[in-house]
Amino acid sequence: MSDKDLAEGMGPRHVEVQQVYTNGFNLAGSLSDMNLLLMVDGVPHTQIHMSFTTAKTLMVEITAALTQIEQLTGNRIMPMETLRDAYDGTKK
């Protein structure tokens, strides 16, 4: 859901929401839900619990957004593991 869709669905009322920046995360799951721990520079700061359905929908939406950015720019966005492997390879 885009910001525009959200704003249109909200109508005339104004709702303040907290903004969070993250550059790392840990993900865990139970039999009933997912737990996402957001971090900044390795320090935990926000914990998010969500249903499997919400987690799956979030994954689909993020994947679509990143795919579109990669297609539009012609640049591949590398996951942290790829960067870590490349960096570790230069130290050998």
Q: Mind listing the pLDDT tens digit of every residue in the chain (92 residues)?
A: 566 666 666 666 778 888 999 999 999 999 999 999 999 999 999 999 999 999 999 999 999 999 999 999 999 999 999 999 998 887 65
State the pTM of this model. Answer: 0.70
Helices (H) and strands (E) in the chain, counts: 3, 3
Provide the β-strand partners of residue 29. 34
Q: Which of 17, 20, 16 is nearest to 36 (CA)?
A: 20
Residue among 28, 60, 25, 57 at smallest CA distance from 41: 25
Token output for 7: 């704003």
